[in-house]
Amino acid sequence: MTPDTPLKLVALAGGVGGAKLAEGLAQILPPHALTIIVNTGDDFVHWGLNISPDLDTVCYTLAGLANPVTGWGQADETWNVFQQMERLGAPTWFRLGDKDLATHLERTRRLREGEPLSHITHDLCMRWGIRHTVLPMSDDPVATIVDTVEFGELPFQEYFVHQRCEPTVRRFRFAGIEQAQPAPGVREAMAHADALIVCPSNPWVSIDPILKILQTAAIHLPNVVLAVSPIIGGRAVKGPAAKMFRELGIEPSALAVAEHYGKRTLTGFVLDSIDANLAPAVDALGIQAFVAQTLMPTSKERRKLAQDVLHLVEKLV
């Protein structure tokens, strides 16, 4: 970074929470100053289609297309194909709206023609009017497997959607991750980053796979790594993160998240104001604790949190 150019940030994101902060950062940073690396461990084939939920959640959110209620899928959806598929006997536990289906059909078509996922993502982003760079963590297949007490190993979406996150988690496995190469652009983005932002996504199944790919590829993290807690007041804002901590024998809290990433990864950690009392314990880990409003119900709070994060990064670099 030179004095007159803005900081270059890389953000790691998974599902809905991560996408919201990514969108907040995209509101305040120019395209060349922000790259978002997205988890692909949730990807799976359903109805014969290649589905990349976290890429789509990040892209739809950046493009202003996301369903504001669920956070995933598109707003103002229709369900004509879904209803006909139900009538024909197709599995209906994973809801696919008509507009969302076009994304899966086109991604599948291009993948079948041999186009890499990162290239498809870049082109779809352009067509959605997204100017910031969105990269899958890898073009190679990585499948998050959830080992559960009740059913043994479950593919991620089977656990997350079909079983509604109810099974008891024992451990996670990221099939293919040892062989998976970082997608084109990941290494370069990380090399030029002044700071890495770990968005408030599920540490276990959204952020860990990305960190594992970076580590396996010996991609060094920038001097400044700032994470925003996905857990507030001992509860996940959305999704099973707190339940996963508890089932793995760890009392869920923002402190537990900071400990999970550890001071080898994190320089700073942003707690919600509700958890301000945990700041000294985070500091004691050797990770600088900061307090902010981390709930992002609307675009205004996403922008505000992004601004707070940027100010903290400017203090830390």
Instruction: Compute the distance between CA of residue 28 and CA of residue 310 in angstroms, rounded to an integer.
Output: 9
Question: How many Å apart are CA 40 and CA 43, to the nearest integer?
Answer: 5
User: Which position among 75, 94, 185, 301 is part of the footprint of ligand FO1 (CB under 6 A)?
Assistant: 94
42 vs 275 by CB, closer to ligand FO1: 42
Which amino acid would we find at residue 70? T
d(CA 94, CA 159): 12
Stretch that binds ligand FO1, among 50-58, 117-125, 180-188, 249-257 (CB under 6 A): 50-58
Cβ atoms within 10 A of the Cβ of 280, count? 10
Residue range at the interface with ligand FO1 (CB under 6 A); choices 95-103, 175-183, 259-267, 276-284: 95-103
Distances in Å between the alpha carbon of 244 and those of 31, 39, 68, 172, 205? 35, 18, 25, 10, 10
* In the complex, minimum distance from the CB of residue 17 to ligand FO1, in angstroms, rounded to a whole number: 9
Q: Distance between CA 293 and CA 270 in Å, rounded?
A: 9
What's the closest the beta carbon of residue 43 comes to ligand FO1, in angstroms?
Answer: 9
Report how far residue 316's alpha carbon sits from residue 276's, in angstroms, rounded to the nearest whole number: 20
Among residues 57 and 253, whose Cβ is nearest to ligand FO1? Answer: 57
Site string for ligand FO1, 59-78 (x = CB under 6 A): -------------xx-----
- Cβ distance 25 to 306 under 8 Å? yes
* Ramachandran category for residue 165: left, alpha or beta (phi over 0 → left; psi -120 to 50 → alpha): left
Q: Is residue 15 close enough to count as binding ligand FO1 by CB under 6 A?
A: yes
- Cβ(145)–Cβ(155) under 8 Å? yes
Return the DSSP state at 138: B
**Residues 32, 95, 173, 311: which binds ligand FO1 (CB under 6 A)?**
95
Binding mask 158-177 for ligand FO1 (x = CB under 6 A): --xx----------------
Nearer to ligand FO1, 90 or 161 (CB): 161
Interacting residue with ligand FO1 among 24, 58, 65, 100 (CB under 6 A): 100
Residue 203 · residue 230 · CB < 8 Å: yes
**Which of 9, 29, 42, 240 is the binder for ligand FO1 (CB under 6 A)?**
42
CB-based closest residue to ligand FO1: 15
Question: Nearest approach, Cβ of 301 to ligand FO1 (angstroms)?
Answer: 20
57 binds ligand FO1 (CB under 6 A): yes
Site residues, ligand FO1 (CB under 6 A): 14-15, 42, 53-54, 56-57, 72-73, 94-96, 100, 157, 160-161
